[in-house]
């Protein structure tokens, strides 16, 4: 009798416990969807201690969104140990693509992925190819290419895109440009972001097709990914990276994209400004900006102010620029950069460094790289205050300056290796903080 009663009670407690765990997990999911990260974290953190792999995986995701990769890796390892095979692949991705050199470990990431392939975990093969695509001067093992090719020949869109990318990067030469083109088109059936690969093929091998043929294919898709691809391709053409296509082609892409994507107006106006050979007048550029403003493009308001601030194709009028910028009610890193530059450079008289730097810092934290470059210049010159090379180098790093630029700065200003190392550490901390803010902002905007 006692044994039966004990068994019954144990069963009730077990069922009740499971019910509570399920309820708390759903509550956490709802809190996360509402952008209440801290509250969701408390639920996930409590439940993760019970060894629930799914919850541990979700907790790792929160840590990644906060920019805390060490904690994310720790919880992904626990989730994987508890039986969640997808956590192993996520862990490999963090190790492979981390910007933190103390965390990034390509060899360990490769080892994890190869182990998953041995376990017949299908997504692992694709991930291995993606990893090899990022690594220069490293050949992709033929056996994995053959596996991807088999999937591509069966119509798998992801495999088709990977195979086309392998050809573009000269990592697979057993197909010709026409076959690569066919694989790129295969990828478009499900992945409209494969347009960039297709554009690269058309431009690299003009004999397989013209811009007009590519553009005709692009216009069949009118989704967000295809319009963003059009803008990206237009930028590459303008920067001279697609040598067989010209600025007129950029214009066509942007005019098409502007029908559904606000940022295209800004890109189009900027194209007309930096490429005067297109032959657009100030009135025509102003008309494009006006269209963008009417559609709600903050960038178009900003570009109008920037033209006035620097006297681009018009009379320089910083007072008018300030008025335009202060009238923009929505937050914008671009607008903050222009205000910061206006005040810190003293366009209207004496420089106001505290005010200018405050705006520039706000812009930089929003991810605007021009602001970091401006801050690096200010701190390296000591405008208005003591020189601070540590901050100057930090902002150079955050502006995505290349290695040679950093070396040049170190030599020009006689900066010690110790200061360079400290600046790199500061930049890494700042980058993680910005990532956390960006993720939080993105979540808030989705509410």
Q: What is the pLDDT of residue 191?
A: 63
Kindly report the CATH number assigned to the domain that includes residue 2: 1.25.40.10
Average pLDDT over every residue of 4-11: 34
Higher pLDDT, 433 or 343: 343
Residue of 381, 326, 315, 407 lying closest to 359 (CA atoms): 326
Average pLDDT over every residue of 77-89: 89
Within a domain: 434: no
Q: What is the pLDDT of residue 301?
A: 94
Question: How does residue 141 score in pLDDT terms, banded at 50, 70 and 90?
Answer: confident
Q: Domain range spanning residue 21?
A: 1-104
CA distance 154 to 137: 29
Indicate whether 19 pLDDT > 50. Answer: no
Within a domain: 59: yes
Within a domain: 78: yes
Q: What is the pLDDT of residue 9?
A: 35
Q: What is the pLDDT of residue 235?
A: 92
Give the chain's mean pLDDT: 84
Count of other CB atoms within 10 angstroms of residue 5? 9
Q: What is the pLDDT of residue 8?
A: 33
The pLDDT tens digits for 314-344 are 999 999 999 999 999 888 999 999 999 999 9
Average pLDDT over every residue of 394-415: 90
Average pLDDT over every residue of 80-100: 87
Total-model pTM: 0.70
Residue 120 region by backbone torsions, left for phi larger than 0, else alpha for psi between -120 and 50, else beta: left
Decide: helix, strand or coil at residue 358. Answer: helix
Within a domain: 38: yes
How many whole angstroms from its chain centre is CA 235?
16
Rounded to 5°, the CA angle 276-280-283 comes to 130
CA distance 29 to 37: 10
Within a domain: 47: yes
Higher pLDDT, 128 or 20: 128
Decide: helix, strand or coil at residue 310. Answer: helix
Within a domain: 279: no
Number of domains in the chain: 1
Average pLDDT over every residue of 55-74: 84
């Amino acid at each position: 009798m006692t044994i039966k009663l004990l068994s019954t009670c144990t069963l009730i407690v077990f069922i009740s416990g499971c019910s509570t765990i399920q309820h708390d997990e759903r509550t956490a999911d709802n809190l996360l969807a509402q952008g209440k990260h801290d509250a969701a974290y408390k639920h996930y953190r409590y439940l993760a201690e019970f060894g629930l792999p799914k919850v541990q995986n979700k907790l790792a995701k929160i840590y990644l969104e906060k920019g805390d990769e060490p904690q994310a890796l720790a919880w992904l390892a626990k989730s994987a140990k508890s039986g969640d095979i997808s956590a192993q692949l996520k862990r490999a991705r963090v190790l492979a693509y981390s910007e933190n050199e103390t965390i990034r470990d390509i060899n360990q990431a490769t080892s994890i992925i190869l182990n998953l392939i041995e376990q017949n975990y299908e997504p692992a093969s694709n991930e291995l190819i993606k990893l090899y695509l990022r690594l220069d001067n490293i050949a992709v093992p033929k056996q994995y290419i053959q596996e991807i090719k088999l999937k591509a020949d069966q119509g798998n869109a992801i495999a088709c895109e990977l195979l086309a990318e392998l050809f573009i990067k000269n990592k697979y030469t057993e197909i010709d440009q026409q076959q690569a083109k066919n694989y790129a088109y295969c990828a478009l059936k499900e992945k409209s972001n494969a347009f960039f690969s297709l554009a690269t093929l058309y431009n690299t091998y003009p004999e397989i097709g013209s811009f007009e043929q590519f553009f005709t294919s692009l216009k069949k898709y009118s989704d967000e990914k295809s319009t963003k691809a059009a803008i990206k391709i237009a930028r590459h053409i303008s920067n001279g990276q697609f040598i067989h296509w010209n600025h007129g082609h950029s214009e066509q892409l942007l005019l098409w994209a502007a029908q559904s994507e606000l940022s295209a107006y800004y890109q189009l106006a900027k194209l007309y400004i930096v490429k005067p050979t297109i032959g657009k007048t100030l009135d025509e550029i102003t008309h494009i900006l006006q269209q963008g403003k009417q559609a709600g493009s903050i960038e178009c308001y900003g570009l109008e102010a920037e033209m006035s601030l620097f006297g681009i194709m018009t009379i320089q009028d910083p007072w008018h620029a300030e008025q335009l910028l202060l009238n923009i009610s929505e937050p914008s890193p671009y607008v903050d950069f222009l205000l910061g530059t206006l005040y810190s450079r003293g366009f209207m008289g004496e420089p106001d460094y505290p005010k200018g730097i405050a705006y520039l810092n706000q812009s930089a934290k929003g991810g605007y790289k021009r602001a970091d470059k401006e801050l690096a210049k200010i701190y390296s010159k000591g405008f208005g205050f003591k020189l601070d090379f540590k901050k100057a180098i930090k902002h150079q790093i955050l502006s995505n300056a290349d290695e040679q630029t950093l070396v040049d700065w170190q030599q020009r200003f006689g900066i010690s290796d110790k200061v360079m190392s400290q600046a790199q550490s500061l930049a890494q901390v700042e980058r993680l903080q910005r990532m956390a803010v960006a993720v939080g902002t993105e979540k808030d905007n989705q509410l």
